[in-house]
Each structure stands twice: as structure tokens, then as C-alpha cells.
Amino acid sequence: MIYRIVHRTTYRYKYPVSVGNHVACLKPRSSPRHQLTRSELCIQPAPATRTERRDFFGNLLCFFTVQEPHRELLVEARSEVIMKGKRPAWPQPVLAWEQAVSSLPDDHSAAGLDAYQFRFESPRIRLRPEFASYALESFTPGRPMTEALLDLTARIHRDFRFDSKATNVRTPPEEVFKKRRGVCQDFAHVQIACLRSINLAARYVSGYLRTHPPPGQPRLVGADVSHAWLSAYCPDIGWLDLDPTNNVVPSNGHVTLAWGRDYGDVSPLRGLILGGGAHTLRVAVDMEPLDS
């Protein structure tokens, strides 16, 4: 399966913007599930300067500056990824979760050292007793880690309601936890907070999710969405992806864009502008299987 992904972001400003400095994180990563084969970033107005580099987590960032007056900014990322077949089987439950907690500080391998940084607080995720208590309902003594991870994912899916009006991009996980409402970003943050609060390593993953129209209905362009899930680190196995919004293990319908400590590390587009005043934002994502 080959997916063509078009991610279009449009800003419209009330007044002209004289200068805009921006950072785009819109190039999908290759992963065990898929390989990036083509990617381009189209920007209007054309930027005066443009450079690329990888951030601390290995995500590819594009830095660009628009120096001509403009009242609209269009950023369109076009990518193609090849799915590598069926997703790997979920590992058999073998390691008790307490062993994962105790073994990680002594794991000096490259993978272990990389994972260790994701055990701590980050700018948008704090460790709280209420998160730990909620997690420990799934992480009972001696329970295999993989089994506990799936149970926690299922409970968040059951206990929290998807509500796009209940939160915004800055809503902290503590508020989401109280409201029991939010969107995919919120549910990923909550589950990461739960895992880190019991000393497990977890990271935030942004990407794309293919959606399916109702039976007999045509597929709508732009109906696919940018999405968020998380990965938890299990020693001797590696990173395990979990999608609490849908209570699934990410598979061939999920394409990884970037990962970091929380949403703030992988925001698709951010920057500073001079002028503009009030603005509107429109985002549309189209994820099309080319084989069809």
C-alpha cells in the first residue's frame, strides 16, 4: 500500500503581515511500519530564506522566513509513504511492568538511554498522584507490561469522551482528566502522564490516520485528519504504539509524522509574525491510498 498525504495549512490575517518567521514539522518519519519515499513543502508567498535541520528527537524541521507583506500564508506538505505490509504482532506478555521500571535506570544501551529521557515531566505534562492512581488500576502487582498497557488504553477510551469543543491546544492534562473530555492530543497527553507518573517511559507521537467513509458513500477529500497517539518503552522489546482515542494498536492506517516529549515538541507549524492582527486558521489533510 502506498499513501499520498497532502497536509494544507492556511492562515488568513486581518491586516498585512510584514515579516513572518516559521518552523514546519511536516515531513513524515520512516518507521518499522512505513518508509517515506517522497516529500515536498510548498509555501506561498515564497520565503526569502529556507533551511532544514533535524531536531533533538530526529524530526526534520523546515525553517523559513517570509519577508514580503501578505494577508494569507499557505503551507502545503505533500508526501508519499510505502506501508511495509502487516503490522508486527503485538508482543506476548512476558515482562512484569515493575521490572520495566526497575531495569530502565541501569540500561546504558543507546535505546535505553534514549528512552530514559521520556520518564520525566515535560513542559505540557506534569506528574501527579491522580494520574498514578488511575494508571495503577491497570498496572496491578506483577501484571505483564504489555497487558497492562492495553488495559489502560482501553480504559481511557471508555472513560473519556471525544469532544472537539471541550479543550484547545493549550488545555493541560489535569483539566482533561477532570472533564473526561477532549481530543486525540488530550488523550495521548493523559496516558503519557499516567505512565510517567508510575516511572514508565512514554513519548508523544503525531501523525496521520486514514479514515473510512460510511458504506456506499464516496471518500471525501480532506476528510482524513492529523492525529496523535503515544509510544511506551518496554525493555527488550522497544517502543510500543498505543492509540487511546480509538483503542487500537496503530497499524497500516497510521503514519508517523514526528515524536517528542509532548505536543509542544512536534507542533506542525509555529512561528512569530510582525503585524497581522486577528487571523483565521484552516487545516485540511488528505490521505489517499494510491493503489486504489
Q: Which residues pair with 258 in a beta bridge?
A: 206
Q: Supply 249's cell numbers.
A: 494498536
Closest to 185 in 3D by CA, of 249, 251, 265: 265
Q: Which residues contact 220 (CB under 8 A, 6 or more apart)?
A: 213
Is pLDDT above 60 for 57? yes
Q: Is 260 in the same domain as 117?
A: yes
The predicted pLDDT at position 291 comes to 64
Is pLDDT above 70 for 170? yes
Is pLDDT above 60 for 214? yes
Quick: pLDDT tens for 237-267: 899 999 999 999 998 889 999 999 999 999 9
Q: Is residue 129 part of a domain?
A: yes
The predicted pLDDT at position 210 comes to 87
Q: Please answer whether residues 124 and 262 qualify as being in contact, where contact means their C-beta atoms are separated by less than 8 angstroms.
A: yes
The predicted pLDDT at position 212 comes to 75
Q: Is residue 92 part of a domain?
A: no
Mean pLDDT of all residues in 138-157 = 97
Q: Is 63 in the same domain as 143?
A: no
Helix (H, G, I), strand (E, B), or coil: what is residue 125?
A: strand
Q: Is residue 111 part of a domain?
A: yes
Q: Is 48 in the same domain as 122?
A: no
The predicted pLDDT at position 221 comes to 55
Is pLDDT above 60 for 166? yes
Q: Is 46 in the same domain as 176?
A: no
Number of domains the chain contains: 2
Q: Is 144 in the same domain as 272?
A: no
Between 61-70, 104-113, 124-133, 192-201, the lowest mean confidence (pLDDT) is in 104-113
The predicted pLDDT at position 146 comes to 95
Largest CA distance in the chain: 62
Grade residue 226 by pLDDT with cuts at 50, 70 and 90: confident
DSSP H helical ranges for 107-217: 110-116, 129-136, 145-159, 173-179, 184-197
The domain of 106 spans 97-265
The predicted pLDDT at position 219 comes to 61
Q: Please answer whether residues 279 and 16 qualify as being in contact, where contact means their C-beta atoms are separated by less than 8 angstroms.
A: no
Closest to 265 in 3D by CA, of 20, 9, 23, 64: 23
Q: Is 113 in the same domain as 252?
A: yes
Q: Supply 233's cell numbers.
A: 518503552
pTM above 0.85, yes or no: yes
Fill in the amino acid letter for 186: D
CA distances from 50 to 3, 46, 77, 170, 234 (A): 27, 10, 15, 28, 39
Between strands 279-289 and 225-234, the pairing is unpaired
Q: Is 202 in the same domain as 239?
A: yes
Q: Is residue 201 part of a domain?
A: yes
Q: Which residues pair with 3 in a beta bridge?
A: 81, 289
Helix (H, G, I), strand (E, B), or coil: what is residue 170?
A: coil
Determine the Cα–Cα distance for residues 238 and 145; give it in Å rounded to an integer.
12
Q: Is residue 12 part of a domain?
A: yes
Q: Is residue 65 part of a domain?
A: yes
Task: DSSP letter for 238, please.
Answer: E
Q: Is residue 26 part of a domain?
A: yes
Q: Is 148 in the same domain as 254?
A: yes
Quick: pLDDT tens for 116-136: 999 999 999 999 999 999 999
Q: Is 61 in the same domain as 106?
A: no
Instruction: Please report, for the domain that includes residue 34, its CATH number.
Output: 2.60.40.2250
Is pLDDT above 70 for 220? no
Q: Is 123 in the same domain as 152?
A: yes
Q: Is 49 in the same domain as 193?
A: no
The predicted pLDDT at position 211 comes to 81
Q: Please answer whether residues 285 and 225 qualify as being in contact, where contact means their C-beta atoms are separated by less than 8 angstroms.
A: yes
Helix (H, G, I), strand (E, B), or coil: what is residue 200?
A: coil
The predicted pLDDT at position 142 comes to 96
Q: Is residue 90 part of a domain?
A: no
Output the average pLDDT for the chain: 93
Grade residue 88 by pLDDT with cuts at 50, 70 and 90: low
Q: Which residues contact 162 (CB under 8 A, 6 or more apart)?
A: 181, 182, 183, 184, 245
Q: Supply 277's cell numbers.
A: 492582527
Q: Is 131 in the same domain as 208?
A: yes
Between strands 2-24 and 70-83, the pairing is antiparallel
The predicted pLDDT at position 94 comes to 80
Is pLDDT above 60 for 292? no
Q: Supply 29's cell numbers.
A: 518519519
Determine the Cα–Cα distance for residues 289 and 213; give it in Å rounded to an integer.
14
